Structure 1
Amino acid sequence: MSKKTKHEEHEEHADESWLLPYSDLMTLLVALFLVLYAMSATDAKKFEEMAQAFSSALNGGSGVLDYSSGTPKDSNLDNGRANKMNSVVDKSPGESDLAKLRLKEQEELEKLKKQFDQYIKNNGLTNLLSTKLNQSQLLITISDNALFASGQARVKPESQQLARSISQMLQQFPDYEVVVQGYTDNIPISNSEYSSNWDLSANRALQFMKILLINPYLNPEKFSVIGYGEYHPIASNATAAGRAKNRRVEVSILRKYQSDTQTMPANK
C-alpha cells in the first residue's frame, strides 16, 4: 500500500512591497539634505552642478531640484557683472564732460599764466623769465643768472623770493603735476663739486624744487625733477648769448586733459 505523500505547508512570505517607496523616500531625503547644504554655500556654480546631477538622476532633469526654480543662473550672474561694468563706464566722463573739463583747465592755466606775466612785468624780470602755454603744459622758463652763481646749484639768497612767489601762485591749483627741469650749455664743467653737466643740471632743478616745496600748501607727490644737462638746447652753443639761453630752469605745469585734436594757441 503506497503511502500518501504529505506536502509540507510553505510559510507565507511577508509583504515587502513597502521597501520600494521607503528607499525612494530615503533617497529623496538624502537629496534634500544635500541640496540644503549646497544652498548654504557661497559657490553658486558648484550648487548648480550638484542640483543638475541629482535632478537628472532622479527625474530626468526636471522637478524639485531644477536649478531654475530658486538660484540665479550663470546668465543672471553675467548680467549682474555686465551691469556693474556699465555703471563704471557710465561714471567715466563722456565727450561732452571732457570738453567741459578741458575748457575749465584752459581757463585755469590762462589765469595762472597772466599772474606769472604780471609778476614778471612788475619786478622787471622780462629778460630773465618767460612763460608759454601750449597743448601739453604751462611752461615757465627761468634763466640761470636769475637763480645761480656760475657753476653752482645753490639758489642765491636774493633769488629765493622768486621761488616762493612762484609757489604761492601754484598753490591756487594744487592738483596739477609739476616738473622742474634743469639745463646747461655744452661747456664741460670741472670742479670739486660736479663732474658733469648732468650733475649740475639735476641738482639745480632739485634745489629750486626744494624751495617751492617749503610752501606747505603744495603736495610733494605732484612734483618731480629732471636734469637734462647740455642735451636739450634752445639756442646755438656757438655764441655766448646762445649758451646763456641754454642755461636755464624750467617749471612745467602739466595739463591733465590733453587732446590730439585740440588746437590751442601757444601764448608767449
Structure 2
Amino acid sequence: MSKGGDKRPIVIRRKKVVHAHHGGAWKIALADFMTALMALFLVMWILSVSDEETRRSVAEYFSTPLITAVTGGERSGSTRVIPGGGPDPAHIDGERARVDVLQHSRPSAQERRFFNDLQERIERAIEQDPELRQLRSQMRFDLTREGLRIQLLDTAQRPMFELGSDQVAPYMRNLLRTMAPLLNELPNDLSISGHTDGVPFAGGYRGYSNWELSNDRANASRRELVAGGLDPDQLLRVSGFADRAMLPDTMPTDPINRRIELVVLLPEIAEAIRNPGVMEPDSPLPDDDASEEALPQRMEQGDDNE
C-alpha cells in the first residue's frame, strides 16, 4: 500500500468532439431539382393555355433534325450516321439508300400538319352538305408510308358504284367533285387505286374480271375528280388491285372491300414511282456456269425424292 503522503494525481482525459462541416453539395442538388420541377410546371402551363396550332409548331420544332436546323434547309445534308458511297457522302444524293424507300419513308411533322389540315377541310366540306354528310361513315383517313390515304368504302345499303359496273353513283360523283379542288391545295401527286371484293365474275379471269373492274372504277374516279377541277398533272398513278388487297379482319365477300383509295403521295414516294431503282452497274450478276452446274444437281435431287 502506498503511503498517505505519496498520492498520484488523477488525470481525466476527455475526448474532444469536433463537428465537421459537411459542405453544400446537397444545396446544389436541391436547387437543380427545384429548377427542373419549376421548368416542368412551366411547360405544362404553356401547353394548357396554348392553342392547337402553337402546340403543333412546338412539336415540329423539337422534331426537326439537327442537320436541318443548323443548315437552315430541308435535308441539305445527309442525316445518316454512316454515309453511303458516292461522289459526296455528306449529301443525300451521294448515298445508295433508295433500295427500300417505302420502308424508311415517314411523313415529317410539317407534312403531317398539311395532311391533317387537308383532312379537316374535306370533313368540313362534307359536313356542310346534307347528302355528303351521310357518306362520312364510309370514309377513312390514315397516314401510311406513302402519304395521306383516303378510302371510300362501299356498304350493302349505299354502294359507290353500280354492282359489277364502273358506273359511278350520283352521291359518289358529288363526293369526288367536292374533294377535287381541296386536293389541289397541296402540290403533292395523287395515286388512285380500285379494289373489289372476292366475288368472281362468271367468266373467271379469262374474260372481264375483277382486274378489269377495279381498273375501270379507278379510272372512272379519276374522270370525276378531273371534272370537279383536279389538276390532271397531279395524277401520277391509276391502278386496280382486284381482290388482292383485302382490308384487315374482313371476309373476302365483305362489301367494304369494294373501295377506292386516294393517296396524297409523299414527295420521295412520287419520285421513287417516277424513277424506280435499278441495280448498280458494278452489282454482280448470277454466274451462268454455276447456275448450269447447279441445275443437274437439283434435277438429280428431285429424281431421288420421287
Matched residue, 2:68: 95
CA gap 1:216/1:244 in 2 versus in 1, 3 angstroms: closer
Say which of 180, 187, 192 aligns to 2:192: 180
Matches within 5 A, 1:137-156: 137-144=147-154, 145-156=158-169
Distance of 2:119 and 2:213 partners within structure 1: 28
Matched residue, 2:208: 195
Count of residues in Structure 1 that have an aligned counterpart in Structure 2: 161
Matched residue, 2:261: 250
In structure 2, runs of 5+ residues without a counterpart are 1-66, 77-106, 270-306
Distance of 1:203 and 1:134 partners within structure 2: 24
Matches within 5 A, 1:68-147: 95-96=68-69, 97-98=73-74, 102-122=108-128, 123-144=133-154, 145-147=158-160
CA gap 1:188/1:163 in 2 versus in 1, 3 angstroms: same
Q: What's the secondary structure of 1:98's corresponding residue?
A: coil
Distance of 1:238 and 1:217 partners within structure 2: 34
Matched residue, 1:80: none
Matched residue, 1:15: none
Following superposition, the deviation at residue 213 of structure 1 comes to 1.2
CA gap 1:99/1:113 in 2 versus in 1, 3 angstroms: farther
Following superposition, the deviation at residue 217 of structure 1 comes to 5.3
Q: What's the secondary structure of 1:140's corresponding residue?
A: strand
CA gap 1:99/1:172 in 2 versus in 1, 3 angstroms: same
Say which of 192, 205, 209 aligns to 2:222: 209
Is the CA contact (8 Å cut-off) linking 2:147 and 2:265 kept in structure 1? yes
CA gap 1:169/1:125 in 2 versus in 1, 3 angstroms: same
Q: What's the secondary structure of 2:215's corresponding residue?
A: helix
Percent of aligned positions with the same letter in both sequences?
21
Larger Cα-atom Rg: 1
Distance of 1:217 and 1:183 partners within structure 2: 22
Following superposition, the deviation at residue 229 of structure 1 comes to 0.2
Give the 4+ runs in structure 1 shifted more than 6 A: none
Following superposition, the deviation at residue 140 of structure 1 comes to 0.6
Distance of 2:233 and 2:201 partners within structure 1: 30
Matches within 5 A, 1:45-84: none
Relative to the length of structure 1, the TM-score reads 0.53
In structure 1, runs of 5+ residues without a counterpart are 1-93, 259-268
Is the CA contact (8 Å cut-off) linking 2:147 and 2:264 kept in structure 1? yes
Residues 12-44 of structure 1: per-residue CA shift (max 9 Å, x gap) = xxxxxxxxxxxxxxxxxxxxxxxxxxxxxxxxx
CA gap 1:206/1:246 in 2 versus in 1, 3 angstroms: same
Matched residue, 1:11: none
Residues 167-190 of structure 1: per-residue CA shift (max 9 Å, x gap) = 0211111x2110110001111023
Say which of 209, 229, 241 aligns to 2:242: 229
In structure 1, what residue type is equivalent to 2:245? H
Matched residue, 2:171: 158
Is the CA contact (8 Å cut-off) linking 2:119 and 2:141 kept in structure 1? yes
Residues 67-120 of structure 1: per-residue CA shift (max 9 Å, x gap) = xxxxxxxxxxxxxxxxxxxxxxxxxxx734226994432221110011223344
Matched residue, 2:18: none
In structure 2, what residue type is equivalent to 1:244? P
Matched residue, 2:80: none
CA gap 1:107/1:179 in 2 versus in 1, 3 angstroms: same
Relative to the length of structure 2, the TM-score reads 0.47
Distance of 2:230 and 2:256 partners within structure 1: 32
Distance of 1:215 and 1:238 partners within structure 2: 34
